[in-house]
Amino acid sequence: MSYQIGDPVVHCTYGMGEVVGVEEKTMGGETRRYYVVKVGTLTLWTPVDDPEGSNLRPPASRTEFQASLKIIHTTGEPLADNKYQRQSQVVQRLKKKSLEEICSIIRDLVAWSRVHRLTKDDSDLLRRAEDILLDEWELSLGTSRDIARQELNRLLALDTVDATVDAV
């Protein structure tokens, strides 16, 4: 996908950002073009033509976002009992780069927390996934972060699908 300066993007690891430039850089003797992306106070360089797939994706549309939120109420995937395997499992899933996977990770870690105590790493991964979701929520639905956080907490507290998800 091709991005222009000023385009909002979602970085698979760092969340919502903006393309602020395109630069040529030489690394390891290879010159490539990179998108310069600002994510909060971070500046990231992502290859324009990445053969392994970009770390960037466009933000979800309102309809895509609302559909993805419904994942929170689906049956989750079991997480590994071993904390190192669980962390690896979640990190690998984060690399899938999709909003659907972010919602699934949140669903699964919250479900895990209802039965087990989250480790610091589990909590950090959950917070990272929630931050990515909330950043995109603000952009896709035009909702303030505080309202988005309250709505996410409400959705996570529900045991069954609530029709008001469509009104978000």
The pLDDT mean for the chain works out to: 88
Q: How far apart are the first and last CA of the chain?
A: 28
Q: Give the rounded percent of residues in the chain with a pLDDT score beyond 70.
A: 92
Residues 162 and 93 in one domain: yes
Please list the alpha-helical segments (H only) found in the chain.
62-69, 83-94, 99-115, 120-141, 145-157
pLDDT at 1 over 80: no
Residues 16 and 67 in one domain: no
Nearest 5 degrees, angle CA 154-CA 157-CA 160?
Answer: 105
Tell me if 35 is assigned to some domain: yes
Q: What is the mean pLDDT of residues 20-29?
A: 92
Tell me if 3 is assigned to some domain: no
What is the C-alpha to C-alpha distance for residues 126 and 105, in angstroms, rounded to an integer? 7
Residue 20: which CATH number?
Answer: 2.40.10
Residues 115 and 156 in one domain: yes
E-assigned strands of the chain?
8-11, 15-27, 30-39, 42-47, 56-57
Tens digits of per-residue pLDDT, 43-88? 999 999 876 667 888 999 999 999 999 999 888 889 999 999 999 9
Domain of 48? 8-57
Residue 82 forms beta bridges with which residues? none
Residue 161: which CATH number?
Answer: 1.20.58.1290
Confidence of residue 12 (pLDDT cuts 50, 70, 90): confident
Tens digits of per-residue pLDDT, 122-132? 999 999 999 98
Residues 20 and 52 in one domain: yes
Residues 48 and 66 in one domain: no
